Amino acid sequence: MMKKAYAKRALILAISCSLWNVSLGSCAALSIDEAVDMATQRNPEIKIAIKGEEKALADLNAAKGENGVSVAATSALNITDGAKQSFSKDNSNGISLTLPLYSGGENELAIENKKLELLSSQLNSSRTIQNIKLNVIKAYYDVLENQKEVQVDQESVNNYEAHLSNVQQLYTAGSKARVEVLRSEVELSDARQTLIKAQNSYDIAVSTLKNIIKLNHDEPLILTDDFVYMAFDKDLDYCLDYSKINRKDLQQAQITVDESEKKVKIAEAGFLPSVNLTGGLDWDNQPLPNQNHYTYSAGVKATWDLFDSNVTQSNIKSAQATLDEAKLTLVEDQDNVDLAVRQAYLNMKEAEKRFISTHDAVRQAQEDYYIANEKYKTGDGLMLDIIDAQLALSTAELNYISAQYDYARYKATTENVMGLEDEVKK
């Protein structure tokens, strides 16, 4: 099986490179997995998210330091001179130590909040990677879909060209009117216009994918994977329940609520005293202390704000409002996730039904076109039959292509909005 898969990829790559008119070695051949890996390694959004983790870790370490020992050194040089005082010069030096013993819980709560911020940053990185993966998958299938639409439109142009040649021969033989030649030329022109638009859509889709995976826009890109139908065996209720637990952004929103609750307590700590252990060593007029010239001190310092002009109470009200806002945001995010899961799931199921129902329509349309074309050649058919049959064939083929890739994209979207770590890519 593995040998067959590699052989298939090699064949696709060789054919595609020949269409690009470039050497095999200069083609960028990518599977979906390879495209996803390239995006996760190169995309700046992920790098930015990781930098957010680094910042949160540094902030956590800083908060821990605020609750630890701090040591400060001071040195002052004083020079005095004047009419009533002779010139003098002296300097004073000192080292002081402070260790918080009690802060009303403020320092400890600040550390807990920084831990939550770090966790939130990690969740943000995970969610960013999930979204980038989804963007790659959707862009990858967009390219494949547009590529097949170009093939269908090219086939339509080829059919109209062959039909026009047939009509011209019949007109020369005197069996068809000039008006049928003109009508065939108009239909061919319309088909060529459609093909031009499809080719442009394909070029845009390729550029979009290259931009996401950060691939040079001048480098030919060959996609080696294609749509493979894989049924989604989970029901809607399962998807909804799974998303409530596993969506990283919902976990972030809950963390924001937890942080806000702690910030209320931090604000309330303003009503409580703070206690610090202090110590110091001082000496004058010498670079370093010696046994005869120094003083030291040690003690415990308590501070309690008895009146602060309503600052603490205002901080509490502000923190409480922030907490209420965080709770409302969490509820809104939960509703949005619920809706997103429902929409993606229902769209996936709708595309699946279209995919199944349009499969036979293509075969029937091909047979109808063949019959109409053969009848026209023998003089029994009408021009309108050819046009209708060609339109029906193109429509059936495009509907089938659209249903395939809609299903693939909505399936990936469903897995993303559920919060699955590893989206199924085919």
Q: What is the pLDDT of residue 93?
A: 86
Percent of the chain residues past pLDDT 90, beyond the cut:
52
DSSP letters for 276-323: EEEEEEEEESSSS-BTTB-EEEEEEEEE--S--TTHHHHHHHHHHHHH
Q: What is the pLDDT of residue 22?
A: 45
**In total, how many domains does the chain have?**
1
Q: What is the pLDDT of residue 306?
A: 84
Query: What's the whole-number average pLDDT of the chain?
Result: 87
Q: How far apart are CA 356 and CA 116, in angstroms?
A: 47
C-beta separation of 399 from 361 below 8 A: yes
Confidence of residue 27 (pLDDT cuts 50, 70, 90): low
Q: Which range, of 74-83, 208-217, 295-304, averages the lowest pLDDT?
A: 74-83
Does the pLDDT value for residue 247 go beyond 90? yes
C-beta separation of 39 from 132 below 8 A: yes
Does the pLDDT value for residue 39 go beyond 90? yes
Q: What is the pLDDT of residue 85?
A: 62
Question: Tokens 């809104």 appear where?
Answer: 332
pLDDT in tens, 143-171: 999 999 999 999 999 988 988 888 888 88
* Helices 311-377, 236-246: inter-axial angle, 10-degree rounding: 140
pLDDT in tens, 188-203: 999 999 999 999 999 9
Q: Phi/psi of residue 228, each to 5°?
A: -130, 120
321 alpha-carbon distance from chain centroid? 31
Phi-psi region at 232: left, alpha or beta (left = phi > 0; alpha = psi -120 to 50): beta
Q: What is the pLDDT of residue 20?
A: 44
Per DSSP, 290 falls in state B
* Token pair for 362: 């293509």
Does the pLDDT value for residue 1 go beyond 60? no
> Do the domain assignments include residue 425?
no
> Do the domain assignments include residue 149?
yes
* Token pair for 232: 């989604």
C-beta separation of 180 from 382 below 8 A: no
C-beta separation of 282 from 94 below 8 A: yes
Dihedral of alpha carbons 53, 59, 61, 63, sign: negative
Domain that holds residue 304: 28-75+90-418
| Of residues 185 and 13, more confidently modeled | 185
Element (H, E) at 74: strand 70-82
Q: How far apart are CA 403 and CA 405, in angstroms?
A: 6
Does the pLDDT value for residue 21 go beyond 80? no
Does the pLDDT value for residue 382 go beyond 90? no
Per DSSP, 269 falls in state G
Confidence of residue 343 (pLDDT cuts 50, 70, 90): very high
- The HSE-up count of residue 51 (CA atoms within 13 Å, CB side) is 5
> Do the domain assignments include residue 83?
no
Burial class (CB in 10 A: 0-12, 13-18, 19+), 96: middle
Residue 137: closest CA among 340, 398, 411, 399: 411
Does the pLDDT value for residue 40 go beyond 50? yes
Confidence of residue 366 (pLDDT cuts 50, 70, 90): confident
Q: How far apart are CA 377 and CA 397, in angstroms?
A: 24
Integer angstrom CA distances of residue 239 from 212, 344, 409: 28, 10, 17
> What would the mean pLDDT of 372-380 be, rounded to a whole number?
79
Going across the sheet that includes 295-303, the strands are 70-82, 85-102, 274-284, 295-303
Residue 150: closest CA among 185, 207, 224, 200: 200
Q: What is the pLDDT of residue 174?
A: 81
Q: Which residues of 347-383 are buried (b: 16+ CB within 10 A; e: fewer)?
A: bbbebbebbeebeebbeebeebbeebbeebeeeebeb
- The HSE-up count of residue 312 (CA atoms within 13 Å, CB side) is 15
Does the pLDDT value for residue 18 go beyond 50? no
| Of residues 255 and 75, more confidently modeled | 255
Element (H, E) at 96: strand 85-102
Q: Which range, of 179-183, 199-203, 248-252, 321-325, averages the lowest pLDDT?
A: 179-183
Burial class (CB in 10 A: 0-12, 13-18, 19+), 114: buried
- Secondary structure (3-state) at 418: helix
Does the pLDDT value for residue 82 go beyond 70? no
Percent of the chain residues past pLDDT 70, beyond the cut:
89
189 alpha-carbon distance from chain centroid? 41
pLDDT in tens, 271-289: 889 888 889 888 877 767 7
Q: What is the pLDDT of residue 260?
A: 95
We report the CATH number of the domain holding residue 293 as 1.20.1600.10
> Do the domain assignments include residue 15?
no
| Of residues 130 and 172, more confidently modeled | 130
> Do the domain assignments include residue 20?
no
* Token pair for 158: 């080829």
Per DSSP, 381 falls in state S
| Of residues 47 and 424, more confidently modeled | 47
Confidence of residue 19 (pLDDT cuts 50, 70, 90): very low
Q: What is the pLDDT of residue 6?
A: 45
> Do the domain assignments include residue 63?
yes
pLDDT in tens, 103-132: 888 889 999 999 999 999 999 999 999 999
> Do the domain assignments include residue 38?
yes
Q: How far apart are CA 243 and CA 305, in angstroms?
A: 47
> What would the mean pLDDT of 206-230 be, rounded to a whole number?
91
Q: Which range, of 325-339, 380-394, 400-414, averages the lowest pLDDT?
A: 380-394
pLDDT in tens, 411-423: 999 999 999 976 4
Element (H, E) at 252: helix 248-268
Does the pLDDT value for residue 46 go beyond 50? yes
Does the pLDDT value for residue 399 go beyond 90? yes
**CB contact set of 369 (below 8 Å; sequence gap of 6+):** 159, 389, 390, 392, 393
> Do the domain assignments include residue 349?
yes
Q: What is the pLDDT of residue 353?
A: 93
